[in-house]
Amino acid sequence: MSISANVITRGALLACIAFFTINLSGLSQQLEAKDAPLSENEIRIKNTTRWAACIPGSGQLINRKYWKAPIVWGALATSVFFICDNTMQMNQFKQGWIYETDDDPYTTSYLVDTNGNLYSVDDLENGTYLFRRYRDLSYLSFVGIYLLQIVDANVDAHMRFFDSSEDLSFHVIPPQTRFEPWQLGLNITLGNKKIHK
Q: Do residues 124 and 23 touch, judged by C-beta distance below 8 A?
A: no
pLDDT for res 71: 95
Q: Please state, in angstroms and rounded to a whole number, the distance separating the CA atoms of residues 144 and 61.
A: 20
Tell me if 11 is assigned to some domain: yes
Specify the pTM: 0.65
* Contact residues for 23 (Cβ-Cβ < 8 A; gap 6+): none
What pLDDT sits at residue 107? 80
Beta-bridge partner residues of 196: 187
pLDDT at 141: 96
Does residue 179 lie within any of the structural domains? no
According to the model, what pLDDT value does residue 19 have? 64
Please say whether the beta carbons of 170 and 121 come within 8 A. no
Number of domains comprising the chain: 1
Q: Could you tell me if residue 193 is inside a domain?
A: no
**184, part of any domain:** no
Contacts of 66 (CB under 8 A, 6+ apart): 60
Nearest of 70, 73, 74, 32 to residue 49 by alpha carbon: 32
Q: What pLDDT does residue 21 have?
A: 63
Query: What are the CA-CA distances from residue 196 to residues 172, 175, 180, 185, 191 (Å)?
Result: 13, 18, 20, 7, 14
Report the candidate in 8, 50, 49 with the shortest Cα–Cα distance to residue 139.
Answer: 8
DSSP states along 85-113: HHHHHHHHHHHHHHHHHSS-TT-----B-
Each of the 197 residues of the chain gets a pLDDT tens digit; together they read 445 556 566 766 666 676 666 665 555 555 555 657 878 888 888 899 999 999 999 999 999 999 999 999 999 999 999 999 999 999 999 998 888 888 888 887 788 887 888 888 899 999 999 999 999 999 999 999 999 999 999 999 988 877 666 655 666 666 677 777 766 665 555 555 444 54
Residues contacting residue 130 through CB under 8 Å, at least 6 positions apart? none
- The pLDDT of residue 2 is 45
Residue 30: per-residue pLDDT: 57
Range of the domain at 105: 5-163
Q: Considering only CA atoms, which of 112, 134, 138 is closest in space to residue 123?
A: 112
Report DSSP state, residue 118: B
- Asked if residues 58 and 76 have their Cβ atoms less than 8 Å apart, the reply is no
